[in-house]
Amino acid sequence: MNGLHYINAFFSDNAHWQGYDGIPTRVAEHIQYTLEALALAAAIGLPVGLVTGHTGRGGNALSLIATAGRALPTFGLLVLMTLLFGFGLVNVMTPLVVLAVPPILVTTYEAMRSVDPSPVDAARGMGMSEAGVLFQVELPAALPLILGGLRSAAIQIVSTATIAAYVSLGGLGRYIVDGLYQRNYEKVVGGATLVAVLALVTLAVFWAASRLTVSRGVRASG
């Protein structure tokens, strides 16, 4: 059987749409892991990137942190966390957050540094506070690139959150891990297809968010 036959067999089986192992349940679990990890990564990466980008200090340190974060093997970190702390959601969140922080951090910093200095200087000349300059002038102009960093992080999390199944948690990785163990390849292909579809949906969500939050003037200049 080729991949299309496996996909058709998986999605046409009513058993895959019901119960605790049904597609709606597994998709909801995967989205939950993704949103939690993205929220934690954004809470770390966005403030640091905004402040360092605004001040222009710490760029080299951020590059080193981002490089170190990208060099850490996600699955290896998951295994290490499990050995140290046992099974649990924290063990999954840690490698996912470590994976997602670097693109958010670096992209936010670069987005702030790429803002045209003319309106920034004009705002300071008018007596605007540094917080006002940051949130009213720099952030709106840098928002498209910042959203790009969040989008990149979200896609990486969606693709990698399948590791939750290796520590007895849920999500779409459950189909892949269980399917390999059972040699049920329609389950493996079906799970991988769902992950790919969820990644495409994530792209669409960020495209819509960009259309709603970025001003027309900034989009036109970009």
pLDDT in tens, 95-111: 999 999 999 999 999 99
The residue that leads in pLDDT, 77 or 108, is: 108
In angstroms, rounded to a whole number, what is the distance separating the alpha carbons of residues 53 and 59? Answer: 8
Above 60 in pLDDT, residue 222? no
Tell me the average pLDDT across 77-90: 78
The answer for 86, left when phi > 0, alpha when psi is -120 to 50, beta otherwise, is left
How much of the chain, in percent, has pLDDT values that exceed 90?
40
Spell out the domains of the chain, with CATH numbers in brackets: 22-221 (1.10.3720.10)
176-214 burial string, b = 16+ CB within 10 Å, else e? Answer: bbebeeeeeebbbbbbbbbbeebbeebeeebeeebeeeb
164 near 191, Cβ under 8 Å?
no
Answer for the pair 171, 161: CB distance below 8 angstroms, yes or no: yes
Which residue do the tokens 């709606």 mark? 24
78 burial class (0-12, 13-18, 19+ CB within 10 angstroms)?
buried
Question: What is the model's pLDDT at position 87?
Answer: 76
**pLDDT band, very low/low/confident/very high, at 157 (cuts 50, 70, 90):** very high
Q: Is the pLDDT of residue 1 over 60?
A: no
Q: How confident is the prediction for the chain on average, in pLDDT?
A: 87
Q: How far does the chain reach from its first CA to its final CA, in angstroms?
A: 47
